[in-house]
Chains A and B, each alone.
Chain A
Amino acid sequence: MQEIKVGIGDLNIAKTPDKLITLGLGSCIGIALIDSFNKIAGLSHIMLPDSKAFSNINNPMKYADTAIPLLVQKLITSGANKNNLKAKIAGGASMFSFADKSPMMDIGKRNAEAVKSVLKELNIPIIAEDIGGNKGRTMIVDPTTATVILKITGEGIKEL
């Protein structure tokens, strides 16, 4: 069994018995797409909601609207069935709290909204989520059991 690391603004896929891991999601969001029938999963670590706000895109894996379709494509190429894909998502925290925070500036919240709308457009159901709060999360995706394990600083381990 291998644990494949997904970096920040990165994505990858794994087949049973391998797993995927991404460390330290803050306002970023981890999107796990799982085909439990074919025991294959993908994980994307996005940082920003929308690539269309930028003129110069070097890394499409950073943005929700470009990363998720890329991940789906990669999964299909590797033998997943699009109709089997189910999503489990985590992240989107506000790590620091300020009294003067305007909701427009809450990047974690905007990321979550963008991820949900992209998944809806692609007809991929979200079957579990752990979004918001003020704690960072590490996410481990297991295609064999179709589970996602979250490690949360100071709070311990949670299964999605």
Chain B
Amino acid sequence: MELKLTEFQIDALKEVGNIGSGNAATALSQLINKKVDMEIPQLDILEFNDMIRRVGNDDDVVVAVLLKVFGDVLGNILFMIKNEEAEKFTNTLMFGMTELNEDMLYSIFQEVGNILGNSYLNAIAQLANMSVVTSVPSVAIDMLAAIMTTTFMDAEQYSENVLAIDTKFIVDNNEIAGNFFFIPKPGSLEILLNKLGL
């Protein structure tokens, strides 16, 4: 990543991430009717393998929802939840309804991703007075490394070090934890900072 950010800009972007994921956490909390906490968002420029290690092991199976971001800023929003956590999540969401088939599972996570992604993005868009839209969410259940490489490559983050703003959600004291990434395309962070007057 060639981008050079000042401490002040990094703090500002973290705050933007904070507002966005705060909004998303509220939406998640309303959806599942439980208390949802989130960790302070991190803005990281890390080597690729370290970025993956932050979340888990290369071959951990995760449920991932990807939304493409279009408009004044471009990039990807990625929500990931580990497979065993995802089961708890759907149990909570479906109030114990069993016999979920794969289509229903995909549909649930598509909707969850949609709500989270758009509440995150809307908060940022309002703050920076930008217009952004997202694609229809797409769900994949697969290995962490496969999901993350594909998502970063898709956002044209090709260099040794990749950038992401991420937050971890914690539901009912660590009952369910998910990871949330906003992966801007190169140039989009500068646009965001510019709109914020930084």
Contact = CB atoms under 8 A, between A and B. Distances in A.
B143 A23 contact: yes
Contact of A23 (B58, B64, B140, B154): B58
- A134, A138, A153: residue with the most chain B Cβ atoms closer than 10 Å: A153
A26 interface: yes
Main secondary structure of the interface of A (DSSP, over half): loop
B136 A98 contact: yes
B169 to A, nearest CB: 21
Contacts, number: 97
A26 B147 contact: yes
- B66, B139, B144, B146: residue with the most chain A Cβ atoms closer than 10 Å: B146
B42 interface: no
Main secondary structure of the interface of B (DSSP, over half): mixed
A27 B68 contact: no
A8 interface: yes
Contacts of A28: 146, 149-150
A94 B138 CA distance: 11
B7 interface: no
B138 A153 contact: no
A96 B145 contact: no
A24 B154 contact: no
A137 B146 contact: yes
Contacts of B153: 27, 47-48, 107
- The size class of the interface chain A forms with chain B is 20 to 34
Interface string B67-83: 01000000000000000
Contacts of B159: 56, 58
Contacts of A48: 153, 158
Given A9-B48, A47-B149, A138-B59, A24 B144 contact: yes
Interface in A4-21: 7-9
A135 B59 contact: no
Contacts of A94: 150
Interface string B123-164: 000000000000110111111111111110110001110000
B145 to A, nearest CB: 3
B160 A136 contact: no
